[in-house]
Amino acid sequence: MKLSVRIFDLVLAFILFVILLIPMSIVALMIKLTSKGPTIYKQLRTGYKENDFYIYKFRTMSVGSDKTGSITIGNDRRITKIGKILRKTKVDEFPQLINIFRGEMSFVGPRPDTPEYTEYYKKYNSSYFDLVPGITGKASIYLSNEEELMSKVENPKDFYVNEIIPKKVGLNSYHLNHFNIFDNLKIMIETVFKVVKNDE
Protein backbone atom coordinates (compact mmCIF):
# COMPACT_ATOMS: atom_id res chain seq x y z
CA MET A 1 0.00 0.00 0.00
CA LYS A 2 1.29 3.48 -0.84
CA LEU A 3 2.51 5.33 2.25
CA SER A 4 0.49 8.45 1.39
CA VAL A 5 -2.72 6.40 1.13
CA ARG A 6 -1.93 4.56 4.35
CA ILE A 7 -1.44 7.84 6.25
CA PHE A 8 -4.65 9.22 4.73
CA ASP A 9 -6.55 6.07 5.76
CA LEU A 10 -5.26 6.22 9.34
CA VAL A 11 -6.02 9.92 9.81
CA LEU A 12 -9.51 9.65 8.31
CA ALA A 13 -10.24 6.44 10.22
CA PHE A 14 -9.30 8.14 13.51
CA ILE A 15 -11.48 11.18 12.75
CA LEU A 16 -14.44 9.00 11.77
CA PHE A 17 -14.01 6.77 14.81
CA VAL A 18 -14.25 9.79 17.13
CA ILE A 19 -17.28 11.18 15.25
CA LEU A 20 -19.06 7.83 15.00
CA LEU A 21 -18.27 6.46 18.45
CA ILE A 22 -21.62 7.44 19.98
CA PRO A 23 -23.74 6.51 16.89
CA MET A 24 -21.98 3.13 16.71
CA SER A 25 -22.64 2.55 20.39
CA ILE A 26 -26.34 3.23 19.81
CA VAL A 27 -26.40 0.82 16.83
CA ALA A 28 -24.68 -1.85 18.91
CA LEU A 29 -27.28 -1.41 21.66
CA MET A 30 -30.15 -1.65 19.14
CA ILE A 31 -28.75 -4.89 17.74
CA LYS A 32 -28.36 -6.33 21.22
CA LEU A 33 -31.92 -5.41 22.20
CA THR A 34 -33.61 -6.72 19.05
CA SER A 35 -31.90 -10.07 18.43
CA LYS A 36 -29.88 -12.70 20.26
CA GLY A 37 -26.14 -12.85 19.72
CA PRO A 38 -23.09 -10.57 19.54
CA THR A 39 -23.27 -7.06 18.07
CA ILE A 40 -20.15 -7.54 15.95
CA TYR A 41 -19.85 -10.24 13.32
CA LYS A 42 -16.49 -11.37 11.98
CA GLN A 43 -15.85 -13.51 8.94
CA LEU A 44 -12.70 -14.85 7.31
CA ARG A 45 -11.86 -13.04 4.06
CA THR A 46 -8.94 -13.12 1.61
CA GLY A 47 -7.00 -9.89 1.26
CA TYR A 48 -3.76 -8.45 -0.05
CA LYS A 49 -1.31 -11.09 -1.37
CA GLU A 50 -3.92 -13.75 -0.53
CA ASN A 51 -3.48 -13.25 3.20
CA ASP A 52 -6.63 -14.22 5.09
CA PHE A 53 -7.99 -11.96 7.80
CA TYR A 54 -11.18 -11.42 9.76
CA ILE A 55 -13.45 -8.64 8.53
CA TYR A 56 -15.62 -6.88 11.12
CA LYS A 57 -19.22 -5.77 10.61
CA PHE A 58 -22.26 -5.03 12.70
CA ARG A 59 -24.25 -8.27 12.81
CA THR A 60 -27.21 -8.04 10.44
CA MET A 61 -28.24 -11.70 10.35
CA SER A 62 -29.39 -14.25 12.89
CA VAL A 63 -26.65 -16.18 14.66
CA GLY A 64 -25.44 -19.22 12.71
CA SER A 65 -26.60 -17.90 9.33
CA ASP A 66 -23.15 -18.34 7.79
CA LYS A 67 -23.49 -22.11 8.21
CA THR A 68 -26.10 -22.15 5.44
CA GLY A 69 -23.88 -20.33 2.93
CA SER A 70 -21.92 -17.10 2.54
CA ILE A 71 -24.03 -15.77 -0.33
CA THR A 72 -26.83 -13.39 0.63
CA ILE A 73 -29.75 -12.74 -1.71
CA GLY A 74 -32.46 -10.07 -1.63
CA ASN A 75 -35.07 -10.45 1.13
CA ASP A 76 -32.93 -13.17 2.74
CA ARG A 77 -34.91 -14.51 5.71
CA ARG A 78 -31.71 -14.70 7.75
CA ILE A 79 -31.43 -10.89 7.85
CA THR A 80 -32.83 -9.27 10.99
CA LYS A 81 -35.25 -6.32 10.88
CA ILE A 82 -32.63 -3.80 11.97
CA GLY A 83 -30.11 -5.64 9.78
CA LYS A 84 -32.06 -4.65 6.67
CA ILE A 85 -31.69 -0.98 7.59
CA LEU A 86 -28.01 -1.32 8.43
CA ARG A 87 -27.24 -3.09 5.15
CA LYS A 88 -29.20 -0.59 3.05
CA THR A 89 -27.47 2.41 4.62
CA LYS A 90 -24.08 0.62 4.79
CA VAL A 91 -23.89 1.39 8.51
CA ASP A 92 -23.04 -2.29 9.05
CA GLU A 93 -19.64 -1.56 7.48
CA PHE A 94 -18.56 0.97 10.16
CA PRO A 95 -16.65 -1.58 12.31
CA GLN A 96 -14.28 -2.07 9.38
CA LEU A 97 -12.47 0.98 10.72
CA ILE A 98 -10.81 -1.70 12.87
CA ASN A 99 -9.55 -3.44 9.73
CA ILE A 100 -8.17 -0.13 8.47
CA PHE A 101 -6.32 0.52 11.73
CA ARG A 102 -4.88 -3.00 11.51
CA GLY A 103 -3.66 -2.38 7.94
CA GLU A 104 -5.81 -5.17 6.48
CA MET A 105 -8.01 -2.85 4.42
CA SER A 106 -8.14 0.61 2.88
CA PHE A 107 -11.16 2.85 2.48
CA VAL A 108 -11.12 2.13 -1.25
CA GLY A 109 -10.42 -1.13 -3.04
CA PRO A 110 -12.17 -4.37 -3.99
CA ARG A 111 -14.48 -5.88 -1.39
CA PRO A 112 -12.67 -8.90 0.09
CA ASP A 113 -14.44 -12.21 -0.46
CA THR A 114 -14.37 -15.50 1.42
CA PRO A 115 -11.46 -17.92 0.74
CA GLU A 116 -13.67 -20.37 -1.17
CA TYR A 117 -13.82 -17.92 -4.10
CA THR A 118 -10.12 -16.98 -4.27
CA GLU A 119 -9.30 -19.19 -7.26
CA TYR A 120 -12.21 -17.76 -9.26
CA TYR A 121 -10.86 -14.22 -8.88
CA LYS A 122 -7.35 -15.34 -9.87
CA LYS A 123 -8.81 -17.09 -12.90
CA TYR A 124 -9.93 -13.76 -14.36
CA ASN A 125 -6.96 -11.69 -13.17
CA SER A 126 -3.79 -13.24 -11.76
CA SER A 127 -2.83 -9.86 -10.25
CA TYR A 128 -6.16 -9.39 -8.47
CA PHE A 129 -4.71 -9.95 -5.00
CA ASP A 130 -2.08 -7.29 -5.56
CA LEU A 131 -4.98 -4.99 -4.72
CA VAL A 132 -5.56 -3.89 -1.14
CA PRO A 133 -9.20 -4.67 -0.24
CA GLY A 134 -11.46 -1.76 0.65
CA ILE A 135 -14.70 -0.77 2.30
CA THR A 136 -15.89 0.55 -1.05
CA GLY A 137 -14.73 0.45 -4.65
CA LYS A 138 -15.81 0.43 -8.27
CA ALA A 139 -17.60 -2.91 -7.99
CA SER A 140 -19.28 -1.91 -4.72
CA ILE A 141 -20.81 1.09 -6.49
CA TYR A 142 -21.83 -0.43 -9.80
CA LEU A 143 -22.88 -3.82 -8.43
CA SER A 144 -24.71 -2.48 -5.39
CA ASN A 145 -27.79 -4.48 -6.51
CA GLU A 146 -25.87 -7.76 -6.38
CA GLU A 147 -28.17 -9.37 -3.80
CA GLU A 148 -31.25 -8.38 -5.79
CA LEU A 149 -29.81 -9.88 -8.98
CA MET A 150 -29.08 -13.20 -7.26
CA SER A 151 -32.60 -13.37 -5.83
CA LYS A 152 -33.94 -13.67 -9.39
CA VAL A 153 -31.93 -16.71 -10.49
CA GLU A 154 -32.41 -20.41 -9.82
CA ASN A 155 -28.83 -21.09 -8.68
CA PRO A 156 -27.39 -18.01 -6.90
CA LYS A 157 -23.95 -19.54 -6.34
CA ASP A 158 -23.45 -20.46 -10.03
CA PHE A 159 -24.66 -17.00 -11.01
CA TYR A 160 -22.25 -15.42 -8.53
CA VAL A 161 -19.27 -17.41 -9.80
CA ASN A 162 -19.98 -17.12 -13.53
CA GLU A 163 -21.54 -13.65 -13.76
CA ILE A 164 -20.84 -11.52 -10.68
CA ILE A 165 -17.18 -12.37 -10.01
CA PRO A 166 -16.02 -11.65 -13.61
CA LYS A 167 -17.77 -8.27 -13.43
CA LYS A 168 -16.23 -7.55 -10.05
CA VAL A 169 -12.77 -8.36 -11.35
CA GLY A 170 -13.26 -6.13 -14.39
CA LEU A 171 -14.49 -3.17 -12.37
CA ASN A 172 -11.95 -3.54 -9.58
CA SER A 173 -9.04 -3.75 -12.01
CA TYR A 174 -9.44 0.04 -12.14
CA HIS A 175 -7.81 0.23 -8.71
CA LEU A 176 -4.57 -1.39 -9.94
CA ASN A 177 -3.67 1.86 -11.73
CA HIS A 178 -5.73 4.33 -9.71
CA PHE A 179 -4.78 3.70 -6.09
CA ASN A 180 -3.98 7.18 -4.79
CA ILE A 181 -5.58 9.74 -2.47
CA PHE A 182 -7.24 11.76 -5.25
CA ASP A 183 -8.84 8.79 -7.02
CA ASN A 184 -9.84 7.22 -3.70
CA LEU A 185 -11.58 10.42 -2.65
CA LYS A 186 -13.57 10.40 -5.89
CA ILE A 187 -14.70 6.81 -5.23
CA MET A 188 -15.65 7.66 -1.65
CA ILE A 189 -17.73 10.66 -2.73
CA GLU A 190 -19.38 8.58 -5.46
CA THR A 191 -20.22 5.96 -2.83
CA VAL A 192 -21.90 8.52 -0.57
CA PHE A 193 -24.07 9.75 -3.46
CA LYS A 194 -24.96 6.15 -4.35
CA VAL A 195 -26.05 5.35 -0.77
CA VAL A 196 -28.10 8.56 -0.50
CA LYS A 197 -29.77 7.86 -3.84
CA ASN A 198 -30.67 4.33 -2.77
CA ASP A 199 -32.29 5.66 0.38
CA GLU A 200 -34.60 8.01 -1.52
Range of the domain at 110: 3-199
- How far does the chain reach from its first CA to its final CA, in angstroms? 36
Q: How many domains does the chain have?
A: 1
Tell me whether residue 51 is exposed, middle or buried, using C-beta atoms within 10 angstroms of its C-beta: 0 to 12, 13 to 18, 19 or more.
exposed
What's the pTM? 0.90
- How do the pLDDT tens digits run along the chain, 200 residues long? 788 999 999 999 999 999 999 999 999 999 999 999 999 999 999 999 999 999 999 999 988 766 666 677 666 788 999 999 999 899 999 999 999 999 999 999 999 999 999 999 999 999 999 999 999 999 999 998 888 888 889 898 999 999 999 999 999 999 999 999 999 999 999 999 988 887 66
